[in-house]
Amino acid sequence: MSDLSALRRAKRPRTPLAGPYGHPFHAMLVTVPIGAWTGALVFDLVSFFSGDPEAFVRGAKWLVGIGVIGALVAAVFGLMDLSILTRGTKARRVALTHMALNIAAIVLFAVSFLLRLNGPQEGPAVAGFVAALVGFAAVGASGFLGGELTYRHGVRVADEETQAQAHR
């Protein structure tokens, strides 16, 4: 397969379930776990310094859980986007690393959630916070690679002719 046909293939969804051309659902869905996990870390930090941390501890726990569920849904759509990438290409290798980091993050946040379920309910769950913090670092690295896939390698981005129409 030529380089150009591999690039064209990377721009089009294999199935409409992945989102229409130029609008991949994966990119929209990742905002749920990222937002939930960011909120959880903020709640954790507030709980460490609050005189009454119970509500923040409970909120952080459920935000972590919501993020795990959201990440699993986003992963399904990410796999659809991965399936269009040609084997042996740099874009596919970057996507596989992106996926591995996301799997690590999901596992770390799931561990964080379980630690929070079984940990103290009235005060901060330090072990859960540490697992979440490491998971959040994995999400950051993965997000960088997701940006590489989109902005550098053009995965699921409209082709340049389609883009040019907006600048006429």
- Confidence band of 110 (pLDDT split at 50, 70, 90): very high
Residue 130's pLDDT is: 95
- Confidence band of 122 (pLDDT split at 50, 70, 90): low
| Residues belonging to the chain | 168
Taking alpha carbons only, the member of 28, 38, 168 closest to residue 109 is 38
Straight-line distance from the first to the last Cα atom of the chain, in angstroms, rounded to the nearest whole number: 33
Residue 20's pLDDT is: 86
| pLDDT tens digits, 7-29 | 888 888 788 888 888 889 999 99
Domain ranges in the chain are: 32-158
Percent of the chain with pLDDT over 70: 96
| pLDDT tens digits, 41-84 | 999 999 999 888 889 999 999 999 999 999 999 999 999 999 99
Could you give the 3-state DSSP secondary structure of residue 67? Answer: helix
Give this prediction's pTM. 0.90
| pLDDT tens digits, 150-161 | 999 999 888 888
Taking alpha carbons only, the member of 132, 135, 157, 161 closest to residue 26 is 157
How many CB atoms lie under 10 A from the CB of residue 105? 27
**In the predicted model, is pLDDT for residue 129 greater than 80?**
yes
